[in-house]
Structure 1
Amino acid sequence: MERRLWHNHYETGIANNIPEEKLSSLAHLIDESVHRYQNQEAFLSMGKSVSYGEIGKLSDAFAAYLTNDLGLKKGDAIAIQLPNTIQYPVVLFGAIKVGLVIVNTNPLYTSREMAHQLKDSGAKAIVILDNFASKLEGALPELTDLKHIVTTGIGDLLDGAKGHLVNFAVKYIKRMVPGYKLPGAVKLKSALKAGHGQNFTRPQLGPEDPAFLQYTGGTSGVLKAAVLRHRNILANVAQLSQWMSKLLVLGQETVGTAIPLYHIFALTANCFLFFKAGGRNVLIANPRDMVGFLKEIRHEKITVLTGVNTLFNGMLNHKDFDKVDFSRLKLTIGGAMAVQKSVADRWLAKTGVALSEGYGLTEASPVVAVHPFNKKVKQGSIGLPLPGIDVSIRDDAGMEMPLGQAGELCLKGPNVMAGYWKDGELEPIGEDGWLATGDIAYMDETGYVFIVDRKKDMILVSGFNVYPNEVEEVIASHPKVLECGVVGIADEDSNERVKAFVVRKDDSLTVEEIRKHCKKSLTRYKVPKLVDFRDELPKSPVGKILRRKLK
């Protein structure tokens, strides 16, 4: 395979590599943007707006509290379990400024899952939303390293009476805050008050210092932490900045952030990228509340929107979708799961803007490939590798595959993690620096990469490989289908059988209709033997359909 042939198909003016990074750390990035865009709006959440200057002062107050009151120091781990509210960037930026290592924690975790992550990371502190605090209480007996707990209500940083009303409604009307007892816990508002106006010592931070222990299913499917250094995130921000340089206008973009900021895609592509660019970030605390989500962005004149296939599909199928002002929208990117053609086609028809599929993984901080924005989207492809990223398609023996032939996607670049966190130590990815992603892919003659499927999700039917993405794409194109998921289940005769789980858009849809529809586009062994209709499918907080739960 010709090396780096994708460079030949970059937009004119896009360099093959990113320039040498002038920022020494993420703290440096934050300080630069606060200074440059002081009076501009940085974040908007539930009607509350904060400027760059205000977010700088609030995060300074929290940084002072962390060091002066709690005694935390550079290299200590702090867990954050918050949705997309103003609290998240305040806590995140404050912790980064004093050199803490961030452990983003999924709010949907059970006490057992929370205990595993907090123990494994050695977190000494946690900032947690009241809604999830009861689960932390259940995990506490196992958390000997955890010394400090900071809690917050969802309305705590909203203005005046509104904050109290929101907290009252969430706790007493919606009953979303189970009772809990966390001895010694401090409210975030009290912590900010204590740190306000205090000086704090900033540690010397460099590009090689760890910034995040970002937990992921990993390329093996086992939950573990990718060690992301400051330079890894900065590199990916630089790669994305260069890729979008002809599209984005510094200080003038409004990005819709429905993906949780604790997810690596939103963390890099929405939070850090647009904070560096002086963007305005509209934070959506609960994108599953489609009525509330569409209402919140209705008049915000979003210029950039990131999401997942299920989010865009849900938007398109909602009665309020046409009320949203998309007149300034110029970029829509789908990540975390495959973008289905039926969804992409409808999005383009409705908004006039192509839904570009991107690809990334936590271990790469995360974005690896995106479509050029001046060319027609090559349907089914994840686009071209970003500047500075090297890609290789390899067989099981590690040999590079010819163009057009599928193998495991491997990659290398400044955005790739240092390694995994194991038993309190860094486990490097290997001397050669190549990361095997666990994804099956091929590259065409123009350098565009196509993901066939996850290696571990591949279904083996009588010796033939069946990739769930392909079957899902066909089923989703049926006009009576809302969404679907495909898995393999054990079968004595053929090793595995293909099973589809389908949410209907039209209740008249039958199993036979689906099978007949599939037979038009799929060879016999790929057609689902079993079809199970469901009211909903299990999803991650990002909205990605969880095949492992379907199994």
Structure 2
Amino acid sequence: MDRTYNDEMFIDTFEHGYTWLNGFLRNVNRYGNKQAVIDPEANLTWTYSQLNRESNRLANALIDCGTKKNDVVMAALKNCPEFCTSYIGPRKAGAILLAANTSLAYEEMSQLIDHNKPKVIIYSAVIKDTVINALKICKHEVELAVMADNIAGESIPDGHVSYEDFTKNKSEEEPTVEFRPHIYDEVLRLCTSGTTALPKCVPINDINEVLSAHDVIMHYPMDCNDVTLNMTPWFHRGGVHSGGPCPTFYIGGAVIVMRTFKPQTALDWVAKYKITYIMGAPANLEMLARSQERNSRNLSSIRGIITMGGPLTRSDCIRYMGVLTPNIFNGYGTTETFWNSFLRPYNLPAAAGSVGYSCVDDETKIVKASNSTRTEPDDTVPMDGKTEGEIIIRCPEKTTYSYYGNPEAEKEKFYKGWMYTGDMGTWDKNGLVTVCGRMDDMMLVSGENIYPQQVEEAIMRNPKVLDCIVTSVPDSVRGQAVVAYVIPKDGTLTIEELKEFCNNSPILSRYKRPRYYAFTDKIPQTATGKKQHSLMKKQALEDFSNGKLIK
């Protein structure tokens, strides 16, 4: 390269030294006696020095059992202290952490194992039966299964080892390795919350980790005095990166461990541990608000509540700002790209219903949607707030633009430095993005495109409705007919009332009104709180065939 200066030292230092792990180790030196992990259920706390020593024990245990550079260590862990050491320890050994969903069925987990071929699996005791059954049917031979987070005192399965025994008597010193870390090394592998048996596996490199941490620190903002509680699983991008271990350990704050979300407990912990940032799906916020309304706690320590997984309605936003904190944030993004548009407290409630403006280092566009040809990134729709197109994202700092072992999906999703999300949306003259729905969730009724979220928003205005999900079934006249599954908030709600409500809705055109209804007590959701319309569509087809839908 033709530089005006000698760039050799800069390149070498930047590429090998600007790593997430070095950022963590700086905090070990700066804040060695400061709390890093607080586990109220296990009555355990770790300082930064203790967390580093425990992570070194795991790293040395992995090396002693033959783990080498770019080997995969699979962690199927609830939010727990062992997740924290598994987040740090493998990268000290040069390994890649595969964060697996603890809610997978055993056949799904076996497919994940066969696809990623982990050398070691570390799993929470509560899912030991799933792991045992997955290992029985998978083709790949895992060398070691380690049962962790055993707060209930479960028995260790035959052939497995406890986490405590695995790391027992291992050195607490930094491991000796024969490689130099590089910012382009894959250090983390996440899984999309898709509806197929095998989710797409997303490689995250070291510089993605650093800049994802910077993104959170900048947007909240965060500092070393913050205490975070992510109510969603850390094995998701929004869990580990949105106020989870990634940014919190990088800035020197403390994380609160919550294995299973309980609104009353979360609010109690806010008051007890002076939590400053809470992260969760919109459903989590609703449950927090209801709990706070029933039994008010002191929430004055909260600097912000951040929600992802869906936009907030204006009425919900106003309520949460009054009941929980005025500082509500709403982010939008993907597993592949983290968050890419953001609403800050000063944007709300005015911009509620949208997913915000592009993040500082990101760019979000709406391009013309096409199911047959690739739309060019510059082929955008008008910025008029009403013309719909596909949402595409450019964020080279937080994505590798790749999937592990899935070139077909890679080619479909990534193009010229952009990710094509499959989400339909609009944007206005200021770049404010609003999501209309998924391209693959779109319903075609009498030649008109309908997105489930539009109908769901209308139904949710009924005060007797707790939640709902909208899908479709075949119709000989219209092509498809809209179906609404509703969870009542009030037991007196009837189908006739719902029909009348939708027929009189000011935001539902005639062709968008549901033709069929059904009450339900559960709506399928991913671990990040997104409604799974594809699963509901299968249920609707079955219910339609069996005459269970009410016309």
* Contact in 1 for aligned 2:195/2:532 (Cα 8 Å): no
For residue 218 of structure 2, the aligned residue among 219, 242, 249 is 242
1:520 to 493, 505, 512: 505
State the Cα distance separating 1:362 from its structure 2 match: 0.7
State the 1:317 CA deviation: 2.6
Alignment of 1:32-71 (within 5 A): 32-45=26-39, 46=41, 47-68=43-64, 70-71=65-66
Report what 1:466 is aligned to: 450
Per-residue deviation, 1:426: 11
Higher alpha-carbon deviation: 394-403 or 121-130: 394-403
User: Cα distance 1:201–1:426, how it changes in 2: closer, same or farther (>3 A)?
Assistant: farther
* Cα separation, 1, equivalents of 2:111 and 2:197: 16
Aligned to 1:530: 516
Task: Trace 1:453-492 onto structure 2 (pairs within 5 A).
Answer: 453-492=437-476
Secondary structure at the counterpart of residue 128 of structure 1: strand
2:165 to 190, 195, 203: 190
Using the alignment, how far apart are the partners of 1:232 and 1:493 within structure 2?
50
1:274 aligns with 2:263: no
Deviations 1:404-456 (A, max 9, x none): 22211112122122311126999576562211111112211112111111111
| Counterpart residue number, 1:211 | 187
Distance in 2 (CA, whole Å) between partners of 1:26 and 1:43 is 18
Greater alpha carbon shift after TM alignment, 541-550 vs 499-508: 541-550
1:198 offset after TM fit, Å?
5.3
Deviates further, 397-406 or 381-390 = 397-406
Q: 1:380 to 1:536 in 2, by over 3 A?
A: same
Identical aligned pairs, as a percentage? 23
CA distance in 1, matches of 2:414, 2:519: 45
Change over 3 Å in CA distance of 1:273–1:120 after alignment to 2: same
How much does 1:199 deviate? 5.2
1:74 to 58, 69, 75: 69
Q: Does 1:300 align with 2:282?
A: no
Distance 1:331 1:346, change over 3 A: same
Judge conservation of contact 1:129–1:154 (CA < 8 Å) in 2: yes
| AA in 2 matched with 1:80 | A
Note the alpha carbon deviations across 1:248-306, whole angstroms, 9 max, x for none: 3x22112121111001101111221122222221121100x444444444423322111
The alignment partner of 1:338 has SS state of coil
Residue aligning to 1:163: none
**Is the alpha carbon distance of 1:530 and 1:93 closer, same or farther for their aligned partners in structure 2, counting shifts above 3 Å?**
same
In 2, Cα distance between the equivalents of 1:390 and 1:319?
37
Letter in 2 for 1:140: L
The aligned residue for residue 10 of structure 1 is: none
Structure 1 spans left out of the alignment, 5+ residues: 1-19, 156-166, 172-178
Structure 2 contact 108–198 (Cα < 8 Å) conserved: no
Are residues 193 and 312 of structure 1, via their aligned partners in 2, closer, same or farther at CA, if it must alter by over 3 Å? same
Range 221-230 or range 30-39, more displaced: 221-230
8 Å Cα contact 1:309/1:340 also seen in 2 = no
Q: Which residue of the partner structure matches residue 230 of structure 2?
A: 257
> Given that residues 309 and 337 in structure 1 are in contact (C-alpha distance below 8 angstroms), is that contact kept between their aligned partners in structure 2?
yes
Deviation at 1:197, TM superposition (A): 3.3
CA RMSD across the alignment: 2.5
Is 1:409 the equivalent of 2:402?
no
Q: Which moved more, 1:73-82 or 1:521-530?
A: 521-530
AA aligned to 1:492 is S
Q: Among residues 284, 290, 304, which one is paired with 2:258 in the alignment?
A: 284
Aligned to 1:545, the other structure's residue is in SS state coil
Residues 264 and 288, structure 2, Cα contact 8 Å, conserved in 1: no
Matched residue of 1:415: which SS? coil
**Matched residue type, 1:146:** V
Residues 324, 459 of structure 1: alpha-carbon distance in 2 compared, 3 angstrom cutoff = farther
Question: Measured at CA, do residues 77 and 222 of structure 1 come closer, stay the same or move farther in structure 2, by a change above 3 Å?
Answer: closer
CA contact (8 A) 1:255 1:280 kept: yes
Q: Is the 8 A contact 1:255 1:302 kept in 2?
A: yes
Q: Is the 8 A contact 1:291 1:320 kept in 2?
A: no
Compared with structure 1, are the counterparts of its residues 128 and 143 closer, same or farther at alpha carbon in structure 2 (3 Å cutoff)? Answer: farther
Larger RCO, structure (CA 8 Å, separation 6 or more): 1
Aligned residue for 2:212, secondary structure, equals helix
Post-superposition offset of 1:94: 0.7
- Counterpart mapping for 1:168-179 below 5 A: 168=153
* Partners of 2:186 and 2:86 in 1: CA distance: 17
TM-score, normalised by the number of residues in structure 1: 0.85
Tell me the secondary structure at the aligned position of residue 135 of structure 2.
Answer: helix
Which amino acid in the other structure matches residue 521 of structure 2? D
Please tell me the residue identity of whatever aligns with 2:382: P
5 Å-filtered alignment, 1:82-121, equals 82-121=77-116
1:126-168 CA-partner distances (Å, limit 9, x unpaired): 101122122222222424241111112432xxxxxxxxxxx15
Distance 2:90 2:56 in 1: 9
Residues in 2 aligned to 1:339 and 1:143: alpha-carbon distance in whole angstroms:
44
Change (3 A) 1:182 1:401: farther
* Residue number in structure 2 paired with 1:493: 477
Deviation at 1:77, TM superposition (A): 0.7
**CA–CA separation in structure 2 for the residues paired with 1:219 and 1:418:** 21
Q: Could you say which residue in structure 1 is the equivalent of 2:531? A: 545
1-structure distance, mates of 2:113, 2:294:
40
Moved more, 519-528 or 421-430: 421-430
Q: What SS does the aligned partner of 2:291 have?
A: coil
Give the aligned partner of residue 486 of structure 2. 502
Asked if structure 2 preserves the Cα contact closer than 8 Å seen for 1:341 and 1:473, the reply is no
Q: What are the Cα deviations for residues 299-344 of structure 1, in whole angstroms up to 9, with x where unaligned?
A: 2332211110111112223377533321122211110233333432
Q: Which amino acid aligns with 1:112?
A: E
Q: Which amino acid aligns with 1:214?
A: L
The alpha carbon displacement at 1:363 in A equals: 0.9
- Gap change, CA 1:319 and 1:207, over 3 Å in 2: closer
C-alpha contact 1:128 1:152 (8 A) present in aligned 2: yes
Alpha-carbon contact 2:147-2:156 (below 8 Å) kept: no
1:129 to 116, 124, 128: 124
Indicate the SS of the match to 1:422.
Answer: coil
- Equivalent residue of 2:482, what SS? strand
* Cα distance change on mapping 1:461 and 1:122 into 2, 3 Å: same
Aligned residue in 2 for 1:5: none
SS of residue in 1 equivalent to 2:127: helix
Aligned residues: 505
- For the residue of structure 2 that corresponds to 1:358, the secondary structure is strand
What secondary structure sits across from 1:420 in the alignment?
coil
**Matched residue SS, 1:106:** coil
Written as runs of structure 1 = structure 2, the 5 A alignment for 1:432-447 is 432-447=416-431
Query: 2:70–2:95: 8 Å Cα contact kept in structure 1?
Result: yes
Q: In structure 1, what residue type is equivalent to 2:165?
A: S
Distance 1:423 1:502, change over 3 A: closer
Match of 1:420 in 2: 403
| Residues 165-190 of structure 1: CA deviation (Å, up to 9, x unaligned) | xx15xx5xxxxxxx88442x211011
2:329 is the alignment partner of 1:349: no
Instruction: Label 1:221 to 1:516 Cα distance change in 2 as closer, same or farther (>3 A).
Output: farther
Change (3 A) 1:208 1:534: same
Tell me by how many angstroms 1:359 deviates: 0.3
